[in-house]
Structure 1
């Protein structure tokens, strides 16, 4: 019988030591499908060992690519043997970032048929801005259980695309579709997250001509082909932020290695406002919390604002802060589903639409809880680490989508956390917090 994992956490211990941050999940899940655009061999380094990455390797293999794992964090991908433009429904629907296959396959082959994305369920995930960009470049797009896109004449044409809303996924997807198009594509009101810059740097290292990534106007001049090369993925901003929030909630002192401190500014500033000490060096940060946490108001915004992917984790820390905090979700419309799980642990939180009112409590108490998405799962781990007593956390497959060896890294910091196997029921339904 198949097995699933659960985490058993005995909390109340501050965290001490050092942790090394893995490659960025949000960059890796775009760069790996972007290898489909390359007419040569890509060597990609600093790849995180997470289930989303493993699934993308399986999808590329199914499409005909040659994927050769070199070591724990490096892989060679050769997509010259790819012939199919239709990844299987079963694999594509299991991963949120499957929509990046649309831009990559459409840009390379002039057509693509991809299942609508799955992954975490925390709100409406329209792809209208992706479709708008593809159509502006001359593709015909139909939507249903699958999205089918085909370039008129077999090749996309450069165009000016204005994004009605700032969308990370659409910015990256249109960028991928445009690198081999005829002419120049300009994306206005583009998203500016670090992983967008990383994707652009990857494509440029393979021969693309992209300027302006990291600003709200990106220009992509189409080229005839991309050739092979070597690229190293940036460190994971959200993984680093998660460990920072864990120290804020539990107390202790942590040296975080392999980070880009500038990427952390939006998180560091809010934690310092809460009374956490943050000291930056070249590629490390020292995080320390010894006194009480102070209340703070947080609103998630596109980069360089506070990241939506850090909202659940900082909310846990605010549960233990003195006073009343407000958390406003400015990106997704349903990202507070985990709040009911925190309430089981003694948190005092009321949610009204996109705003959560958090009344600080002196302590949380361990309880059986379930993860309902990737970052909510990480937040519940933090809550378990800070709580008194035992926390049993299930549905941890969501967490393993985006965190490399979370349990092992936490144990090295003195956390009392372990993995146990539980039998998987023959028929499972998606848990909704």
Structure 2
């Protein structure tokens, strides 16, 4: 393909319900493997990454049933292996969550290197550093790596950079580790808080999620529960920006406005009318948009995934 021809569309108008967060769903499915009883997750989106994770985990014994409404029943009691297919587990970056969720139960996990978007590398140095501090050892091969630990023990861990993936992964490992783990310079993303909320419903003892210091007191067992995944803030932000790009008016429903505070602030900066209520946001173009400076950063800063839409 030598060129892509882009033509201006008609104004984007209407109301849309936002699905559950993909990033949170991937972490929640991995977290479900920690418990010793069935769990139900509500609002899981039916998308390719989720379908890959179903196929990946069904091969190790996780029983999965999904309804048309997005309700997913997960039974981890018959998981018999922690050797994850290296090709499938490399097809999306957050497969590494299964290291945190399975290591304490099985003592060894084999998994492919993280994949996902093909425009940048996916370093896992902070994951490795933290899990080593908890007693794990790593062996690296061409297509996959293994993590082993006779016993995971609590530790005080400072992340050299703020990382949502490592924060969630180490939090998963710490839930069934011996003793107390403290995570410093932890990510504050809603997906971290959602995962901690789900784990606490199952009987974990996690405090501080949503701040830069998270404390996890290890437990020996976890119980089943029902949990609803948070809405996808990135999809919601894209639709709100679509209203500005096309000079339209869009209402996103089933959202948590606080999760979109930086996006909303920038939309107001450029001249859009924004109306917020408890679980919906309406963005309307005024027809005159002005330039503004955007610098991406970790939550609660402006999300990297929204910068390209903003540039339009």
Q: TM-score range by the shorter chain?
A: over 0.9
Q: Secondary structure at the match of 1:80?
A: helix
| Cα distance in structure 2, aligned partners of 1:67 and 1:124 | 31
- Is the contact made by 1:36 and 1:108 (CA closer than 8 Å) also made in structure 2? no
| Cα distance in structure 2, aligned partners of 1:211 and 1:97 | 23
- Matched with 2:125 is 128
| Cα distance in structure 2, aligned partners of 1:173 and 1:12 | 41
1:166 paired to 2:162: yes
| Cα distance in structure 2, aligned partners of 1:240 and 1:110 | 39
State how 1:39-54 maps to structure 2 within 5 Å: 39-54=36-51
- Is the contact made by 2:136 and 2:152 (CA closer than 8 Å) also made in structure 1? yes
Q: Secondary structure at the match of 1:18?
A: strand
- C-alpha change, 1:271 and 1:227, in structure 2 (3 Å) is same
| Cα distance in structure 1, aligned partners of 2:119 and 2:28 | 24
- Matched with 1:289 is 285
Count residues with an aligned counterpart.
308
- Matched with 2:242 is 246
- Matched with 2:147 is 149
Q: Give the counterpart of 2:86 among 64, 85, 89.
A: 89
Q: Please report how far the alpha carbon of residue 61 of structure 1 lies from its aligned counterpart in structure 2 after TM superposition.
A: 0.5
- Is the contact made by 1:116 and 1:146 (CA closer than 8 Å) also made in structure 2? yes
1:21 paired to 2:18: yes
| Cα distance in structure 2, aligned partners of 1:286 and 1:307 | 19
> Which TM-score applies when normalising by structure 2?
0.96
Q: Please report how far the alpha carbon of residue 290 of structure 1 lies from its aligned counterpart in structure 2 after TM superposition.
A: 2.7
- Matched with 1:200 is 196
| Cα distance in structure 1, aligned partners of 2:236 and 2:269 | 18
- Residues 12-48 of structure 1 deviation map (CA, whole Å, 9 limit, x = unaligned): 2001110100001110111111111111101000111
- Matched with 1:377 is none
Query: Bigger shift: 121-130 or 267-276?
Result: 121-130
- Matched with 1:419 is none
- Residues 281-328 of structure 1 deviation map (CA, whole Å, 9 limit, x = unaligned): 000111100322100110000111101111111112xxxxxxxxxxxx
Aligned alpha-carbon RMSD (Å): 1.4
| Cα distance in structure 1, aligned partners of 2:248 and 2:22 | 26
Unaligned runs of 5+ in 2: none
Unaligned runs of 5+ in 1: 1-6, 317-433
Work out which of the two has the higher radius of gyration on C-alpha atoms and give 1 or 2.
Answer: 1
> Which TM-score applies when normalising by structure 1?
0.69
- Is the contact made by 1:278 and 1:287 (CA closer than 8 Å) also made in structure 2? yes
Structure having the larger proportion of residues in strand = 1
